[in-house]
């Protein structure tokens, strides 16, 4: 360990000569970490890139913490040094635009997949009399797939709210929101956490909840890692169903499609027998995509073709729903599903159903990942664009984007589904459209560098993203980016809107030296004369 610290010190001295940072040697030599600091080129290289594959920023070193104490020690050293150095928490590396990078600083590998000190001991689920619910305390770097497996094995329980892809870290999704088709009913993942342990930018570890240090609690939820690093989260659990009835139906009329989606999410207060448990949808403008990695529901031996269904203008819309159940109630399930489907106006004869274990449904996207990895098509650039669109303007978005800008090639799935705003706590840092119903529209594209088709190039897809954003701006559609990426201070201020002032206040309170989350691009180090944060503070 001491040898690693000495090597780290040498690296910092080299950095000082190039960027002028001043780090006091004693601070690093006295850290006394239980985990590891690595200068290995492979580790540094891995922490320099992310799933987006569009940016590269090398840290000085990578730390694999053995405990929250290691995180505290590192952040305190950065905060207490003459000018500080960037520190960033990295889960499983699934950011898109370098949000978890720490150029010239230290990346903390929070996921156990980056650990070198063995598996972390997990807490067992607990039943709370006061909450009248189960919960489990988990490490901030734990992946949701591992939490699912653990809670299923220990009491047949599962978290309530999910993301579509489970190989993401708890701290990562809670720093954004964590959304999927259950959000209309349970709310996003940030609405299903009771308590956090957070290491602030001052190196203080604080326990926070709705009642204790509430300002930090709500600030960190959706706070893009700007105020602290989540080292522990108390996650709400529920008894897990055994199986899932997975249903997909197709639409050629967008108005009917969105009307049916909004009807289904309006049933969130209904008895479980009278509603679905999950509601999502996606847009199909490319015939090949109806059976793609995200849409592997349909059998390759019986593929669905757009030409076989009366699509309007070459665009189809797919609505997918699930109903949780136990095998003992199969006949009753059929009646409940039939009753719900009778109220929808999808294309006749387009109903597809399958039945599978609950855990298999939740982990469905990973199966597609394995297929793409086998073909060498997973580690490519991913110029994703995720938007929250006001429900009142979704038809305008359809006409201007799905039917005009996209053409007939999308290079990946396009998700679209509505959510209920009242399921989101406005005290969190997340910003959503100012309407009760708003839509998630996610362009999950992959750029293929070796493709002969220009429509699959990174340049083309990135330009198309800009055209989509420009269209929304010109049409007055007040979208908000999810997993946001902005360049200027004015863009960030516009993004946060009425929450911007509070955001600045929390940054000054919990990370005054701008050590944390620099990869997001919201703030520069406080020592920088052009720091957006410093400029805003100077005007107060």
Token representation of residue 108: 């903390």
Token representation of residue 280: 């999502």
Does the annotation mark 164 as catalytic?
Answer: yes
Q: Give the rounded distance of the alpha carbon of 319 from its chain centre.
A: 22
Residues 211 and 288 in one domain: no
Q: Is residue 26 part of a domain?
A: no
Q: Is residue 64 part of a domain?
A: no
Q: Which of 164, 286, 336, 513 is catalytic?
A: 164
Number of domain units in the chain: 2
CB-based contacts of 466: which residues, under 8 Å, 6+ apart? none
Q: Which helix (H) or strand (E) holds 152?
A: helix 144-153
Residues 272 and 216 in one domain: no
Which residue is listed with tokens 């207490």?
80
Q: Which helix (H) or strand (E) holds 16?
A: helix 2-19
Residues 222 and 325 in one domain: no
- Phi first, then psi, for residue 174 (nearest 5°) are -70, -20
Question: What is the distance between the alpha carbons of residues 301 and 308, in angstroms, rounded to a whole number?
Answer: 16
Q: Is residue 51 part of a domain?
A: no
- Phi first, then psi, for residue 126 (nearest 5°) are -130, 145
Q: With contact defined as beta carbons under 8 Å apart, do 96 and 483 qualify?
A: yes
Q: Is residue 261 part of a domain?
A: yes
Q: What is the pLDDT along the chain (540 residues), one digit of tens a residue?
A: 444 443 444 344 334 333 434 454 344 445 678 888 889 999 999 999 999 999 999 999 999 999 999 999 999 999 988 777 999 999 999 999 999 999 999 999 999 654 444 456 899 999 999 999 999 999 999 999 999 999 999 999 999 999 999 999 999 999 999 999 999 999 999 999 999 999 999 999 999 999 999 999 999 999 999 999 999 999 999 999 999 999 999 999 999 999 999 999 999 999 999 999 999 999 998 654 454 534 444 444 445 555 556 555 678 999 999 999 987 777 799 999 999 999 999 999 899 999 999 999 999 999 889 988 888 889 999 999 999 999 999 999 999 999 999 987 778 899 999 999 999 999 999 999 999 999 999 999 999 888 888 889 999 999 999 999 999 999 999 999 999 999 999 999 999 999 999 999 999 999 999 999 999 999 976 545 445 444 454 344
Residues 162 and 263 in one domain: no
Residues 135 and 253 in one domain: no
Question: What is the distance between the alpha carbons of residues 249 and 439, in angstroms, rounded to a whole number?
Answer: 19
Range(s) of the domain holding residue 360: 243-481
- Phi first, then psi, for residue 480 (nearest 5°) are -120, 135
Does the annotation mark 94 as catalytic?
Answer: yes
State the greatest distance between any 2 C-alpha atoms of the chain, in Å, as a whole number.
73
Neighbours of 291 (CB within 10 A): 17
CATH of the domain at 151: 3.30.465.10
Residues 284 and 155 in one domain: no
Residues 316 and 405 in one domain: yes
Residues 222 and 247 in one domain: no
Q: Which of 27, 142, 197, 280 is catalytic?
A: 280
Question: What is the DSSP-derived secondary structure letter of residue 306?
Answer: G
What would you report as the CA-atom Rg of the chain, rounded to the nearest whole angstrom? 23
Q: With contact defined as beta carbons under 8 Å apart, do 160 and 131 qualify?
A: no
Q: Is residue 157 part of a domain?
A: yes
Final residue belonging to a domain, choices 441, 463, 481: 481
Residues 372 and 287 in one domain: yes
Residues 212 and 280 in one domain: no
Q: Helix axis angle, 500-510 relative to 489-496, nearest 10°?
A: 110
CATH of the domain at 357: 3.40.462.10
Residues 342 and 278 in one domain: yes
Residues 215 and 294 in one domain: no
Question: What is the distance between the alpha carbons of residues 425 and 423, in angstroms, rounded to a whole number?
Answer: 7
Question: What is the distance between the alpha carbons of residues 43 and 63, in angstroms, rounded to a whole number?
Answer: 9
Q: pTM of this prediction? A: 0.90
Token representation of residue 251: 């639409």
* DSSP annotation string for 76-107: HHHHHSSS---EEEESSS--SSSTT--TTSEE
């Amino acid at each position: 360990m001491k040898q690693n610290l000495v090597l780290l010190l040498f690296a910092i001295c080299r950095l000082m000569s190039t960027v002028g940072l001043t780090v006091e040697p004693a601070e690093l030599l006295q850290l006394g970490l239980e985990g590891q600091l690595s200068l290995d080129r492979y580790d540094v290289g891995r922490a320099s890139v992310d799933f987006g594959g569009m940016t590269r920023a090398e840290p000085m070193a990578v730390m694999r913490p053995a405990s929250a104490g290691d995180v505290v020690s590192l952040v305190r050293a950065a905060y207490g040094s003459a000018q500080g150095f960037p520190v960033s928490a990295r889960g499983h590396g699934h950011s898109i635009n370098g949000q978890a990078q720490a150029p010239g600083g230290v990346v903390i590998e929070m996921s156990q997949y980056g650990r070198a000190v063995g598996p972390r001991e997990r807490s067992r689920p607990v039943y709370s009399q006061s909450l009248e619910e189960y919960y489990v305390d988990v490490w901030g770097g734990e992946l949701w797939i591992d939490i699912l497996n653990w809670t299923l094995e220990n009491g047949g329980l599962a978290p309530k709210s999910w993301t579509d892809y489970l190989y993401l870290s708890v701290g990562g999704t809670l720093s954004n929101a964590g959304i999927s088709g259950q959000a209309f009913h349970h709310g996003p993942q940030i609405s299903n956490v009771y308590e956090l342990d957070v290491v602030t930018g001052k190196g203080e570890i604080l326990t926070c909840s709705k009642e204790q240090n509430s300002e930090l609690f709500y600030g960190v939820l959706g706070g893009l890692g700007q105020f602290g690093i989540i080292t522990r989260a108390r996650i709400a659990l529920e008894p897990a169903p055994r199986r899932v009835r997975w249903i997909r139906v197709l639409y050629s009329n967008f108005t009917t499609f969105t009307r049916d989606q909004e009807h289904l999410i309006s049933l969130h207060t209904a008895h479980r027998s009278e509603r679905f448990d999950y509601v999502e949808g996606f847009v199909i403008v490319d015939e090949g995509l109806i059976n793609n990695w995200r849409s592997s529901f349909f059998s390759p031996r019986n593929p669905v073709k757009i030409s076989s269904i009366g699509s309007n203008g070459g665009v189809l819309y797919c609505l997918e729903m699930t109903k949780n159940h136990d095998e003992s109630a199969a006949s009753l399930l059929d009646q409940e599903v039939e009753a719900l489907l009778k109220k929808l106006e999808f294309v006749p004869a387009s109903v597809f159903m399958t039945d599978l274990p609950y855990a298999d449904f939740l982990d469905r996207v990973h199966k597609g990942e394995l297929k793409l990895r086998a073909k060498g098509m997973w580690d490519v650039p991913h110029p994703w664009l995720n938007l929250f669109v006001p429900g009142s303007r979704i038809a305008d978005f359809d006409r201007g984007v799905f039917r005009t800008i996209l053409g007939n090639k999308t290079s990946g799935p396009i998700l679209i589904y509505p959510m209920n705003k009242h399921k989101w706590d406005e005290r969190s840092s997340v910003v959503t459209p100012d309407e009760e119903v708003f839509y998630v529209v996610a362009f999950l594209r992959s750029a293929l560098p070796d493709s002969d088709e220009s429509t699959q190039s990174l340049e083309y897809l990135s330009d198309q993203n800009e055209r989509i954003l420009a269209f929304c701006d010109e049409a007055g559609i007040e979208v908000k980016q999810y997993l946001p990426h902005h360049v200027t201070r004015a863009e960030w201020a516009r993004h946060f809107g009425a929450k911007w002032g509070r955001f600045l206040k929390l940054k000054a309170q919990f990370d005054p030296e701008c050590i944390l989350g620099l990869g997001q691009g919201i703030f520069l180090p406080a020592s920088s004369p052009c720091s957006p944060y410093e400029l805003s503070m100077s005007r107060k």
